[in-house]
Amino acid sequence: MAVDGRVVTSALDVLVPTYNRPASLALVLSGLAAQDMQDFRVVVSDQGDEPAASFREVAAIVRVLEAHGHQVEWHRHLPRQGLAEQRQFLLDQARADYALFLDDDVYLERDVLGRLLGVIRRERCGFVGAPLIGLSFRGDVRPHEQAIEFWDGRVEPEVVRPGSQEWERHKLHNAANVLHVQQRLALSAQEPRTYRVAWLGGCVLYDVAALRASGAFDFWRDLPPDHCGEDVLAQLRVMSRHGGCGVLPSGAYHLELPTTVPNRTNDAPKVLL
């Protein structure tokens, strides 16, 4: 948006890649419309067989977002060239200093955007993320997967590689482990805690300059279109230079839909690292 010749940006851009999930996308956008934080823009990159914006449930919630003062920018980005290229395209649209990559199957509690933005500004690191909770597993308690390493001081750069001891941290993000940990420790949204991660999926807020300086998703040309793990590789690169962390309590819920990438053979960090 231009005012008096100046480009005015929001505090953050929410970048949403979507593919053939109009109902799920409507729920994701509903979570954004209910956020306590008001200063954000939404950018959607749609690669579905039919335009998601043509579905009434999606169009309705877009009108709600706009009525609340949020700019919603829509792109039909075709042909499909893989998830990494899709994310790079979205990043190229970002104008704010911070950008949240939010998958089209993640519902957010109303204070998540504000909490993540507050933490990344405080820590001055490359990314912070809200780990996803699968509520269908809320009765499945897995103490053997609930080890957590809190950052005692500022978040610092850290090198993590597949197969390393640090890589085992990803088990914390299985099922509803995060929910059980934050309940057991009685963690408060007013005093969010940062912790060490291998990587996070679905809801990650980046310092845009740090992501771009680390190469972002420029490796998309080195992968076949049918790949996965592109978000993991980008995070590993950012974390090694600028640091990154998870934030608890989370407030991000996985809708637990079938994956749109059933072939997991071409896993970016394992192929390219």
Give tens-digit pLDDT for 145-161.
Answer: 999 999 999 999 999 99
The DSSP-derived string for 32-61 is HHT-S---EEEEEEE--SS-GGGSHHHHHH
pLDDT tens by residue, 163-189: 999 999 999 999 999 999 999 999 999
Residues composing the chain: 273
Helix (H, G, I), strand (E, B) or coil at 68: coil
Domain coordinates in residue numbering, the chain: 9-260
Mean pLDDT of the region 108-115 = 98
**Residue 186 φ then ψ, to 5°:** 55, 50
pLDDT digits 0-9 by tens, 73-110: 999 999 999 999 999 999 999 999 999 999 999 999 99
Residue 241 phi/psi, 5-degree rounding, is -105, -35
List the structure tokens of 169: 């941290």
Beta-ladder partners of 180: none
As a whole number of angstroms, the distance between CA 204 and CA 218 comes to: 18
> ω into residue 79 within 30 of 0, thus cis?
yes
Q: Is 83 helix (H, G, I), strand (E, B) or coil?
A: helix
**CA separation for the pair 14, 229 (Å, rounded):** 20
And the tokens for 54?
């043509």
What's the CA angle centered on 17, arms 251 and 121, to 5 degrees?
50
d(CA 201, CA 132): 7
- What is the per-residue pLDDT for 67? 97
Show the tokens assigned to 223. Answer: 């992968």
Nearest to 260 by CA among 221, 226, 216: 226
Longest alpha-carbon distance in the chain: 58
Q: pTM score, two decimals?
A: 0.95
> Which residue matches tokens 């799920």?
24
Strand 106-108 relative to strand 252-254, pairing: antiparallel
* Closest C-alpha to 128, from 6, 23, 245, 217: 245
Q: Could you give the percent of the chain with pLDDT greater than 90? A: 94
CATH code for residues 9-260: 3.90.550.10
Q: Does 137 score more than 50 pLDDT?
A: yes
* Cα atoms in the Cβ-side hemisphere of radius 13 Å centred on 189: 13
Task: Output the pLDDT for position 8.
Answer: 53
Q: Region 246-259: what's the mean pLDDT? A: 97
Beta carbons of 43 and 94 less than 8 angstroms apart: yes
Give the list of residues 6+ apart from residue 153 with CB closer than 8 angstroms, or none. Answer: none
Nearest CA to 143 out of 168, 170, 169, 180 is that of 180
Write down the mean pLDDT value for the chain. Answer: 95
C-alpha distances in angstroms, 54 versus 16, 68, 71? 17, 21, 18
